[in-house]
Amino acid sequence: MPGETAPDPYRVWLSEVMLQQTTVAAVTPRFERFIARWPTVEALAGARDEHVLSEWAGLGYYARARNLIACAREVAARGGFPDTEEQLRQLPGIGAYTAAAIAAIAFGRRALVMDTNVERVVARLHAIEAPIAESKPRLRELLDMMTPVERAGDFAQAMMDLGATICRPKSPDCPACPLNAGCSAFASGEPERFPAPKRKAVRPARYGVAHWIERSGSIWLVRRPAKGMLGGMAALPGPDWTDEPAPAETALVHVSHVFTHFHLELAVVASDSPTGEGWWQPLDRLVDAGLPTLYRRAADSVLEARSALAA
């Protein structure tokens, strides 16, 4: 909380990485599990890749998990986190925002911590109508004018909390906002109009096939290649995804899944022979396999379809 002793940089780093593209509600229990299992950066650095990836399963954006492992090992090797933005940005997976957040919150450095919530607060204070993606340089200038030299970490956390709880994208609670007297968006009477929504891009479709290979109450799982989409994660076996639909096969189920830059149509088909290097995972311990959301949904859909037929 603001005003307290600066928190452990390991916890700040871990929470900020987890919160990228993921809600606080989803992250909180997973963060607590990570900390319980790996209480220090040295403990995380010593963990096996597959254990970390399995613990990450369901949080999405799996490149974050791979960078998490690489960063933990580099930090442990150098004896701790550096305390400046410039040095922090040299670590795997740490970009401008995360470096600023760690520098300000964990080390008390003056840094411009600008996440989506902060961007929205600044845009409304100054009635900037353009979408945030088109206004970032100007928003950064304005945030620079606001950020204090002392207790920059407290200021950053207060701004993030303000955006998350009061200056919400929809139905902002303007009467409760401590900055409403100087807010141009509030004065306009239409605060939700600022900033304009992001211009939506059309996501292309991709297509995939996954093989359901079952034997004696277990299914055959493989680990995806370390690099690429869902790299290093447990998965149902199958060929590479393509831009064109595969030849029609009798599928057990079809699953649609939205990734950042495309949506995937995955057909799950029954097969007899195990393919690739993998293992037999008991169906009654499927939760322990660390399947990412796509493959967990595919497996659940097959089991639900089977139950419906048996009913």
What local confidence, expressed as pLDDT, does residue 1 receive? 47
Determine the Cα–Cα distance for residues 276 and 269; give it in Å rounded to an integer: 16
Q: Do 180 and 225 fall within a single domain?
A: no
Instruction: Specify whether 17 is located in the same domain as 83.
Output: yes
Q: How confident is the model at residue 3 (pLDDT cuts 50, 70, 90)?
A: very low
Residues 33 and 153 in one domain: yes
Q: Contact 57/292 with Cβ under 8 angstroms? A: yes
Structural domain count, the chain: 2
How confident is residue 248, by pLDDT bands cut at 50, 70 and 90? Answer: low
pLDDT at 166 over 90: yes
The set of catalytic residues is: 16
Residues 156, 243: one domain? Answer: no
Residue 65 in contact with residue 30, Cβ under 8 Å?
Answer: no
Question: For residue 277, what are the domain limits?
Answer: 205-310
198 lies in some domain: no
Residue 2 counted as domain residue: no
| pLDDT tens profile 4-41 | 566 899 999 999 999 998 888 999 999 999 999 999 99
Rg value, the chain, Cα: 23
**pLDDT tens string 64-109:** 999 999 999 999 999 999 999 999 999 999 999 999 999 999 999 9
CATH of the domain at 305: 3.90.79.10
pLDDT, tens only, 259-301: 988 999 999 999 999 988 999 999 999 999 999 999 999 999 9
Specify the DSSP element, H or E, that contains 106.
helix 96-107
Which residues, other chains included, contact 148 with Cβ-Cβ below 8 Å and sequence gap of 6+?
Answer: 110, 155
Residue 206's pLDDT is what? 96
